[in-house]
């Protein structure tokens, strides 16, 4: 574990996470005058959210979005009765490190704090190993207080030292040129032909917000049933639109008035994300997904964005190959499960590979049933 010129102050239980819990004190460059910089680990509430947001604005780099760390998500968690706990390293009046977590528990998936559910990466952001470790310790202490056995962290970057990570998931991301014409020219002839095929099929593209929510939900929830996975509720998607307003867009693809594909994008700084996108399988021959993604990428380029995140995939899977054809490059994600009592981190469990039978049964449910049952399951699943 690393150190930094700071004294960390946080309530520490006996005999637990000792390598993280101990007070770290290192003299600063002004050591001759015996000055030290003191950093407190605190929970941030609504009265100090502006400090949290200011830190995120400064923390963004050219490829990693801080979108999922934003405090606006607190209203979204409420759609499922969940609450985010936000740990911050504070130096004076300034936040210098953050870790948001959400408590999830179920008989099937265990009892743990997650940073954060459903998203690719939204774990610790800290300028040093010492601040990172202090934030993790605070989360472990909170986990024990609520009966959680682990803190599940999803990170863009690996931890140095003894922590071992699950690394089979990659974020597919694309550096965007300054204009959509340049991006179009970078595609292979095969991709361009599939987009042209979609356009010739009579597919129509609409871009908007709340007015397309029902269309998005209908296609998304039906497709998730076909994939054997629970879907979010319409209320959850509506909460995202409400919380992020102009940062969101819904792209709707229709044929003769019927919605055949849709996706919701969110933008933060120079990065656009697409957390939810789907199309109806029976229209696959029309290359609906190619029309959808080309419309989104063109919009992102022309809006001056620098990065597009396609979301996570398993290497060499079908979704990986689909995203790769647009020029997206894989970036390894690092997922950790930190034991709340020992502070030791192990590879995050690959629980989704253990439910093949459940997935097959899910695909046989009527869509009306999967839409009702899905949100009651997904609120417990990271």
Q: What CATH code is carried by the domain that includes residue 151?
A: 3.40.630.30
pTM of the model: 0.86
Helices (H), the chain: 18-21, 49-59, 73-77, 129-145, 180-186, 189-200, 213-227, 234-244, 288-302, 318-324, 356-362, 367-378
The pair of structure tokens assigned to 227 is 């994939």
Identify which has the larger pLDDT, 284 or 358. 284
Radius of gyration in angstroms for the set of CA atoms belonging to the chain, rounded to a whole number:
22
Asked if 271 and 309 count as a contact pair (C-beta separation under 8 A), the reply is yes
Instruction: Give the pLDDT mean for 74-80.
Output: 93
Instruction: Give the pLDDT mean for 322-326.
Output: 96
Q: How confident is the model at residue 4 (pLDDT cuts 50, 70, 90)?
A: very low
**Whether residue 101 is found in the same domain as residue 195:** no
Q: pLDDT at position 349, please?
A: 59
Smallest Cα–Cα separation from 144: which of 280, 13, 323?
A: 13
pLDDT higher than threshold 90 for residue 12: no
**Whether residue 260 is found in the same domain as residue 317:** yes
Find the largest Cα–Cα distance for the chain. 76
Q: How confident is the model at residue 165 (pLDDT cuts 50, 70, 90)?
A: confident
Q: How confident is the model at residue 35 (pLDDT cuts 50, 70, 90)?
A: very low
116 falls within a domain: yes
Q: Which of 191-205, 260-274, 280-294, 350-364 has the lowest mean pLDDT?
A: 350-364
**Whether residue 159 is found in the same domain as residue 44:** yes
3-state secondary structure of 42: strand
Alpha-carbon distance of 101 to 103, in angstroms, equals 7
Smallest Cα–Cα separation from 61: which of 120, 107, 125?
A: 125
Q: Which domain holds residue 123?
A: 7-167+334-349
Identify which has the larger pLDDT, 106 or 313. 313
Alpha-carbon distance of 309 to 271, in angstroms, equals 7
382 falls within a domain: no
**Whether residue 94 is found in the same domain as residue 222:** no
Strand partners, 266: 248, 273
216 falls within a domain: yes
pLDDT higher than threshold 60 for residue 175: yes
43 falls within a domain: yes
Alpha-carbon distance of 260 to 279, in angstroms, equals 6
Alpha-carbon distance of 67 to 311, in angstroms, equals 13
The label of the residue with tokens 């939810």 reads: 276
Identify which has the larger pLDDT, 342 or 215. 215
Instruction: Give the pLDDT mean for 59-68.
Output: 68
**Whether residue 320 is found in the same domain as residue 187:** yes
What is the per-residue pLDDT across 209-253, written as a single tens digit (0 to 9) for each?
999 999 999 999 999 999 999 999 999 999 999 999 999 999 999
- Kind of pairing between the strands at 334-339 and 110-115: unpaired
**Whether residue 111 is found in the same domain as residue 202:** no
Q: How confident is the model at residue 356 (pLDDT cuts 50, 70, 90)?
A: confident
The label of the residue with tokens 């996570």 reads: 312
**Whether residue 218 is found in the same domain as residue 85:** no
Asked if 151 and 136 count as a contact pair (C-beta separation under 8 A), the reply is yes
Instruction: Give the pLDDT mean for 182-195.
Output: 96
pLDDT higher than threshold 80 for residue 2: no
Asked if 134 and 17 count as a contact pair (C-beta separation under 8 A), the reply is no
Strand partners, 273: 266, 309
370 falls within a domain: no
Smallest Cα–Cα separation from 324: which of 163, 170, 182, 145?
A: 170
**Whether residue 225 is found in the same domain as residue 280:** yes
Instruction: Give the pLDDT mean for 80-109.
Output: 90
2 falls within a domain: no
**Whether residue 151 is found in the same domain as residue 239:** no
Instruction: Give the pLDDT mean for 38-59.
Output: 87
318 falls within a domain: yes
Tally of domains in the chain: 2
Mean pLDDT of the chain: 85
Alpha-carbon distance of 128 to 236, in angstroms, equals 35
305 falls within a domain: yes
Instruction: Give the pLDDT mean for 255-281.
Output: 95
End-to-end CA distance of the chain: 28
Q: pLDDT at position 93, please?
A: 84
**Whether residue 104 is found in the same domain as residue 178:** no
Backbone angles phi, psi at 354, to 5 degrees: -95, 5
**Whether residue 305 is found in the same domain as residue 175:** yes
**Whether residue 328 is found in the same domain as residue 338:** no
pLDDT higher than threshold 80 for residue 84: yes
CA distances to 187, 192, 247, 275, 330 from 311, in Å: 19, 22, 17, 7, 10
Instruction: Give the pLDDT mean for 150-157.
Output: 91
């Amino acid at each position: 574990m690393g150190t930094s010129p700071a004294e960390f102050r946080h309530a520490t239980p006996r005999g637990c996470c000792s390598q993280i819990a101990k007070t770290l004190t290192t003299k600063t460059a002004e050591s001759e005058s015996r000055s030290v910089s003191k950093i407190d680990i605190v929970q941030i509430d609504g009265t100090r959210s502006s400090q949290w947001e200011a830190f995120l604005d400064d923390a963004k780099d050219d490829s990693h979005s801080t979108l999922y760390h934003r405090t606006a998500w607190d209203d979204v968690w409420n759609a499922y009765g969940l609450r985010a706990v936000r740990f911050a390293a504070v130096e004076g009046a300034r936040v210098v490190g953050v870790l948001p977590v959400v408590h999830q528990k179920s008989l099937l998936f265990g009892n743990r704090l997650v940073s954060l559910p459903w998203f690719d990466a939204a774990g610790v952001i800290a300028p040093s190993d010492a601040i990172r470790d202090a934030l993790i310790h605070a989360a472990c202490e909170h986990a024990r207080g609520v009966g959680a056995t682990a803190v599940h962290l999803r990170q863009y970057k690996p931890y140095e030292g003894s922590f071992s990570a699950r690394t089979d998931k990659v974020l597919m991301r694309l550096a965007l040129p300054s204009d959509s014409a340049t991006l179009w020219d970078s595609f292979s002839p095969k991709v361009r032909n599939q987009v042209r095929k979609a356009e010739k099929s009579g597919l129509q593209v609409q871009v908007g917000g709340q007015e397309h929510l029902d269309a998005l939900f209908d296609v998304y929830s039906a497709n998730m049933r076909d994939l054997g996975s629970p879907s979010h509720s319409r209320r959850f998607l509506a909460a995202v639109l409400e919380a992020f307003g102009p940062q969101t867009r819904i792209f709707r693809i229709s044929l003769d008035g019927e919605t055949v594909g849709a996706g919701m994008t969110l933008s933060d700084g120079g990065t656009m994300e697409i957390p939810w996108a789907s199309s109806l399988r029976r229209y696959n021959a029309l290359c609906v997904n190619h029309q959808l993604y080309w419309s989104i990428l063109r919009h992102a380029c022309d809006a001056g964005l620098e990065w597009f995140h396609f979301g996570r995939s398993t290497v060499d899977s079908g979704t990986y190959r689909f995203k790769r054809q647009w020029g997206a490059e894989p970036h390894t994600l690092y997922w950790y499960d930190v034991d709340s009592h020992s502070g030791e981190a192990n590879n995050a469990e690959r629980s989704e590979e253990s439910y093949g039978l459940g997935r097959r049964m899910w695909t046989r449910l009527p869509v009306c049933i999967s839409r009702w049952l899905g949100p009651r399951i997904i609120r417990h699943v990271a």
